Amino acid sequence: MTKLSVNINKVATIRNARGANNPDVVKVALDCERFGAQGITVHPRPDERHIRRQDVRDLKPVLTTEFNIEGNPEPEFVELVLQVVPAQVTLVPDAHEQITSNSGWDTKKHIDFLTEVTKKFHEKGIRVSIFVDADPEMVEWAAKAGADRVELYTEPYATNYPNGREQAIAPFVAAGEKAKSLGLGLNCGHDLSLENLAYMHERMPYIDEVSIGHALICDALYLGLEETIKRYNACLK
């Protein structure tokens, strides 16, 4: 079964708007696990505009499912991940000013850097996933860098899905098959929702994990968190 990892960044955004601890990020993460999520994802950024570095430290000892930390492997991020030692680190080429991730790595261009940082995380026993576009060449170079998995950037799939789902999924199937052929695990994330997730899973049942935040938290405002997680898990069966 494909695992659902809930990205709780948006919960931290709401908390930070008022400066106190409501909603409590740790409590929400534990509730997500209790309601059936098989993982928790956070993406701490340098300005701490949502998840803070202390949140990452607070979450690690209490989570019972897989902990995935995403981010640009700059020195401060690398240091944090090596201290916390999550199950997985996802390397994302975010610029500081980006609102959200909007592209994958050029793994061929950055092969030396990605190989070096992947080795550091492997020395701590941390699984490494590299965030890439749905391009078989980028998947291949991620494998050469030593990655255990790739995460496909799925915003283009979500955007094109209403105009023709077969055409929208095609490059992702090609990239996913390439990952399988190279022995890489496969994650997917970004703009996946109750509208488009089931079809992606139908066409790519070998996906190891989907990481979903924005749409899931928005749905929870209407459906409640427990019901929302139940519906997302239903898309993955």
Q: Which residues are catalytic, by number? A: 43, 70, 190
Number of Cβ within 10 Å of residue 223's Cβ equals 15
Please list, in sequence order, all residues whose beta carbon lies within 8 angstroms of the beta carbon of residue 158, skipping any fewer than 6 positions away: 190, 191, 192, 193, 196
Q: What are phi and psi of 131, to 5 degrees?
A: -80, 120
Q: Cα(163)–Cα(168) distance, rounded to whole angstroms?
A: 8
114-117, Cβ contacts within 8 angstroms, sequence gap of 24 or more = 114/142, 114/145, 114/146, 114/147, 115/144, 115/145, 115/146, 117/73, 117/78, 117/91
CA nearest 31: which of 217, 207, 190, 222?
217
**Greatest pairwise CA separation for the chain in angstroms:** 48
Contact 196, 165 (CB under 8 A): yes
